[in-house]
Amino acid sequence: MWLFLVLCAIVVPGHASAPQEPGITVTVYKAQNEAAVGARVFVLSDTGQELVAAKTDRSGMVRLEAKRDRFGFVQLTADQAGKGRPAFLLVEHDHFFIGGLRWTYGQQEYFIVLAPREVR
């Protein structure tokens, strides 16, 4: 009986889910709790150079290409030769100030809320 159960477990494979591709997800919202469509998301290095840039979709999200480093942390795949290490994640939109956060090594998700621009 035990042998039959063991053989069934070996012969009947389970449905394995496909491993998720590593990436860095950035979600941008306006102060009114609306998705910031078409916002430009970019990463600046510690030397002030732009490493990667992309625009948000209808849901206010953008996914930056990434890979796992030798320690298992997710890092940008953009060519960074001589450009320095990521330092800031910034977002700009026509009707808002530039907003952003410091880059955090290994972080895979960022959520940024933009404040409206008011000129008096």
Q: How would you write the pLDDT of the chain (120 residues) with one tens digit per residue?
A: 544 444 444 444 444 444 566 788 999 998 778 899 999 999 999 888 899 999 999 999 999 888 888 887 778 876 665 678 889 999 998 877 788 899 888 888 989 888 776 655
At residue 99, the pLDDT reads 86
Residue 9 included in any domain: no
DSSP 105: T
Q: How far apart are CA 4 and CA 10, in angstroms?
A: 10
CB atoms under 10 Å from CB of 106, counted, come to 12
DSSP 13-76: ---PPPPPPPEEEEEEEETTS-B-TT-EEEEEETTS-EEEEEE--TTSEEEEEEEE-TTS-EEE
The bridge status of strand 40-45 relative to strand 50-55 is antiparallel
Residue 30 included in any domain: yes
> What amino acid occupies position 113?
V
CATH of the domain at 30: 2.60.40.1120
> Which range of residues forms the domain containing residue 69?
21-114
Residue 68 included in any domain: yes
At residue 70, the pLDDT reads 83
Contact 23, 108 (CB under 8 A): yes
Contact 89, 54 (CB under 8 A): no
Residue 12 included in any domain: no
At residue 8, the pLDDT reads 42
At residue 118, the pLDDT reads 60
At residue 91, the pLDDT reads 94
Which helix (H) or strand (E) is 101 found in, with range? Answer: strand 96-102
At residue 12, the pLDDT reads 45
Number of C-alpha atoms within 13 angstroms, CB side, residue 13? Answer: 3
Domain total of the chain? 1
At residue 16, the pLDDT reads 47
At residue 7, the pLDDT reads 42
